[in-house]
Structure formats: C-alpha cells, structure tokens
Structure 1
Amino acid sequence: MARYIFITGGVVSSLGKGLASAALGALLQARGFTVRLRKLDPYLNVDPGTMSPFEHGEVFVTDDGAETDLDLGHYERFTGVAARRTDSVSSGRIYSNVLEKERRGEYLGKTIQVIPHVTNEIKDFLAIGEDEVDFMLCEIGGTVGDIEGLPFFEAIRQFTHERPRGQCILMHLTLLPYLAASGELKTKPTQHSVKELQSIGLAPDVLVCRSEHPIPEKERAKIALFCNVRPDAVIPAYDLKTIYEAPLAYHRAGLDRAVLDAFRISPAPRPDLSKWEDVMDRLDNAEGRVNIAVVGKYTQLEDAYKSIAEALTHGGMANRVRVRADWVDSEKLEGEGAHLLDGYHGIIVPGGFGERGTEGMIAAAKYAREKDVPYLGICLGMQMAVIEAARNLADMPDAGS
C-alpha cells in the first residue's frame, strides 16, 4: 500500500507546488522508490479543456486522452511516469460524479451533503491505484484558506485519520517575504498559514519556505518553534536559474531526507543523482545556440505554451545546445510583418482556437517555406501550413478553414 504525501500551499499562489512535487518525486525515484503524482484542483470547471489559456495556462493532454492541468506535464518530465486521467481531478468533476450518482439513486434517497458524500468521492479518487507504487504524491491546487479548497482539505484530514499511523504526511509550501526597508525576512505569514491548516485539523510535517534571500538559521528555528515542525524539516527553497536544478537544490536543502524521516524510513537507500547532474552539465556547458520563434496567439502568457518551451529545453539538452525561444504574437505578422522572423533558425506554430491571428500564422508558414527555414506546425499550426500551401502552391487563393 502506498505512502501518501499531500502537498499544499499558503500565503500566495504560484509558489511552485507543482515543481516541488515533481522534484520530490524525482528524488524519491533516485533512492529506488516508485512514485505517482496527482493534482486536485478546486475550480468548478470539470476540467481545464474549455478554459482560455489566459485563465489557466496550457491544457496538458495525457496518453489516455484526459485534458488536465499543466502541472501534470512537470510530473511527467521530472519522473518519466506517464500521467493518466486518474491523476487529475477538479471540484467540478467531483460534484458532477456525486450528482450523477444521486440521479441514478445510488444514495438511496439520502440528503446529499459535502460531508460525507463529496469528501467520500475525493477519498475514493485518492485511493485509485494505491497498490501500484511506493509513494503517492497529491498536490492540492490553490492556497489554504480558499473557500473552494475546503472540501479537499477536509477529505485529506479524514483520509489521513482513517489510514494506519505513519502512512500519510503533509508538506506545506509558504512564502517568506523580504521587507527591504527593514532588511528582514518575515515569518509571520508562514505562521498564519500553518495556523489556518491547524484550524481545519491538519498539521504540516515538512515546511518548504520560498525566499529570494538566504534564510538565517535563527529564522528557521523560529519557524520550527511556532509552526510545530522539526528544525531539519524547515526546507529553504530559493529561486533557481532553471527548473531542472530543482531536484539537486532540494536534495542539498534536505527535502527528501526530511520526508523519509517523517515516514520513519531509516536507513534510507542512498540517492543516485547522476542523471540530474548530467542534466545540469548539459545546461551549463552547452556547445552551441539556436534561436527559435514560437508564433502563437497567447504569447502574453508563457504558461500557455509550457510543454513546447520545455520540449525545446529538452531538445537542447539532448544536443548540448542552448535554445533561445522568442514568443512572437501571430497578429504582428499579418500584412508586412513577416520580417520579424528574420534571423531565426526555426519556427514553431502551436495550437490555438478561433480565427484571430491565423493570417499571421499563414504568413509564418509562407516565410518558412520561401526562406527554407525549418517549420513545425502543431495542431492549428499544421492546418495553417496546409492552407498556405493550398493558397500559394495549389492555386486555391480562397483556401481557408
């Protein structure tokens, strides 16, 4: 039966819970354990498939066809474990399942409530595939204190209480803000975040503290004292030059050791981090450089094309070259704007929806064909290349979609 690690966040959103989860999964793998990572999102959309990329970044599609949160892409890239539709769920999906069961009469006329019916549905989701791996890492979207996240936190409390002692731990990410005027890192937001968790019956076993400045030892001791965690379980997390440094950085900070100590796994297998050392060597000691233009409709938000950006990084690693990706708004290429693509070694046109910006994508495809620049069209980008060829090579000037 799997051991469970629940990953939550506090103080502010976008702290990097997904990256921390993925890095921890990679570190546990490096010690010889098997892992699976899951994401529980509190929003009421059934899945992110119909959400604008400006709202939630890209939609990551799993091998079995589920449209999921982009964090599942991080999980795959760091662990190599292919995500499944059972690795992502939202409040919308949970409520939809509960209401479908109620319509079918499965609750035998009972009054349907958040507790126990919604929380039971969440717990059933958590238990899927629990016999397949050594560790199940479950990330809760949003921050503690968000009203929409309360059913998930309550389900975790129940789930942990119902399991044998020592089978579940909680890892909480917070922010230590720096006040330049006083030259201080402030621990009070972290204390309040942990207090919020404790008020709903949860207590963190490991605290990961994001900071732009070094965390003095006395501040770590203070956090440990007031948040009721062991001092060596207060893990500093600093900004990195690349996300692929995260496994090594978290290992140096003692994250995997703190997690295994919380499970009382001692002595633990020694980690083999040679793969991640090789990754950093390839990034730090690149032997060349290529410039790629990514021509898209949602370039204002880089997360809209997260998998493409990371695929370029991976391609660069494999070939020991540094890849610079520039995000080019396709609308700017319409008319006489194709000259903006001068100097690039390759052009990528990714997917999108709707008519806006498509003429610029067609212009990019024409530029690539005429200038003999490598072109990769993905989904809509491929369709625009077909339209460009139809218009300019097959004498179909009115070709469109």
Structure 2
Amino acid sequence: MILSQLLPEIARVCPMNAAMKSKEQTLTYEELLRQVNSVAGGFEQLSIMPGDRVALIGNPSPHLVIAEYAAAAIGAVPFAIFPSLAIPEIAHILEDAAPAAIIFDSTDDKIAELITSAASAAQHLVSCQSGSAAHSIEDFISNKPHFVRIYEADPDDIALIIYTGGTTGRSKGVMHTHRGLRNWSSMNTRLGSGYNRAKKSIVANLAHLTGQFVVWTSLIEGGCLIFPDSYPLTAEETVTIIEREQLRNLGTVGLLLRDIVNLPGIKQRQLQSIEAISCGGAPISETTLRKAREIFPHAQLIEVYSQTESGNFISSFSINECMQEERLNRLQSVGKPSHTAAWGQEIFEVRVVDNAGDDVKSGAAGEIICRGPSDHARLLE
C-alpha cells in the first residue's frame, strides 16, 4: 500500500485508537485524519505538487508528523533534517533537496535564524505555530482548507527521502520508493494489527531511519506515537514514559541503554511492562547488557543492524540467547541475516568484499554489501 493510503484506512479500521500523545494533547486516528486532511488542503492551496519535496525542521512534534502525513497525502516527498546540525550542514541539505516548502518549528531560535537566511531555498515557508510565517500548520488545522482526494502514486515513485552522512562526508539523500517502504510493514500481519493491543512508540527523532520507521510502522499498526516533553531524549524521561505509558517495546541505542541501566534507583522503577528492547548503532558493553537483563527481566534484548539505504534490518540476534549459552564473544557481532526472519521480514543477501568486489576469506576485513527487499532505494542526485 502506498503511503498516502495508510492513514485513511487505519482511521477507518480503528478510528478511536490513540494515534499521537504529547504533553498538550492526545489525538485519535479520526482526529488525526481530520487534521492531516486540513493541512493537505493547505498545501494544495500553496500549489505544492506531487513529487515536490517538503522539508521538516525541528524536534519531533505532532505538527511536524501531521505535516509529513499531509505531504504524503498529496503525493509530495517529505524529508526531515536534524535541528542539531550546524547551520552550514542544514543549508547544504536544503540546497541539495531544493524543497518546494520548508515546515519549521519557530520556537527554536537557531531554526528561526536559519529560516530567515534560507528563505530563498524554498517557495514557501510554513511554521508549525501561528504568527511566525505567512502560513502555519496551526492555521491550516483551524481554517480547515478543502481537501479533494488522496494522491495515488505509482509503487516505484519516490515516497520519502532520508539524509545520511555516514563516514563519507557531506549528507546525501537516500530516496525510498513506496514499493521499498512497503517492506517496512512485513513485520505486521495486517493493517491495524495493533487494534486490540495498541503499540506505543517513543518518537526520539524524525531525521534518522529509526525515527521514520517508528512514524510509519506505528501508523500501519494503528499504534500510538509518544512525544517526549523535551529533546534530546534523556534516560530519565525514557524511563518516565515507560512507567506512565506501560510501554511493551523500546527501541534504543547503546549510549541511551547504558544511561538507563545506570540511573540512580533504576531497580526500583516500574519497568515490568517492557517485553522487547532492540539496540543498534554501536557495540554495547557486556556490563551494560548484564545490567539490562537484571532491570528488564521479562524483555527480549535484540541487537539489530541496518543502514539508511537498506530500510529493513540487515541482520539481528538475540542477546538473551548469547548470554544464556555463554557465547559472549558474539556480543560484539551484529548477528546473521537469517535471524531477521523471526521479525517476519525477507532475508537480505549479504557479502563482505575487497576493493575488487571479490568475497574476502572468513575472518578478513572488507566492505559489507547487501541486497534485499528494500533495494529500490537510491541516492538523490
């Protein structure tokens, strides 16, 4: 299913499920669809066309995600930018992507400064809040512009751009098609699969693959996006959200997991609801993992390896099994591609090659290359 069709279908299947929750409000899917349609109508009034790129700059917020869903509804291509990047880095991405519109959080002084200097980078500047630009997401929602119908994209049209720098210098835009992103739903047996036991997910970022994965898979499942009170996300707020919302699943990186398990009084916190923790991004020490096993006794700890270009997980493995079997040397690995079948996804073909593209011998260093269900992604040129 193409991205523009997801929200109307989920709002039909489970209209009263909580879709977004922040300090200010909770939106049901019925309410979310109404607001997204209003913003999509506002975008149409600005003559934003299918295929036009729409930049999202700011810490994660309901307004930015609503803008992203609205862009998809009219066939535009959204992409998010880390607000913590230096202004020259943000300016480079805007120049590279040439967006038709920039949606920005005007409460961030640095972003407001950048937008003032980058006004020529886009045809339209749209603030999240009223009064900060000629147009705003709040005004679109209040004025309820007329929205005709969702855009029906071709499966091989570009649906989403995610910028990544990796280790190769300046950020590059990875373009994901609707067909490629459809594989993100392979872990879900059907649309609205979270109806009876709605999944809640913390939105830690928007500009990273993991953040976009959460934004769209939560929608597929009829789940609820939880927006923290402040960013960057801290260990204390993560634990507070787990306790308050009784989260069952937690996606994290090694540094955040380390900070969580080392919080003072962490063993007295109410964390029994957690059933699964996925970790990635960097190696995690054995000490941190042993503490995590004690603090989250009912959780499956899973190491995952992915790339912005791959979309889905390339490999994974069970930390619980490694520790139970005392195969501690495997804690520094990223598992096997075949292990991702447990998530319900197609398995990637992975090779480790030398500079000539030939497979290296076992134990030798080389470059990882892979091919799989999301190989429709390509770099923005």
Give the TM-score of the pair, scaled to structure 2: 0.35
Q: Which has the higher helix share?
A: 1
Which structure's relative contact order is higher, taking Cα pairs within 8 Å and 6+ residues apart? 1
Greater C-alpha Rg: 1
- Taking structure 1 as the reference length, the TM-score comes to 0.34
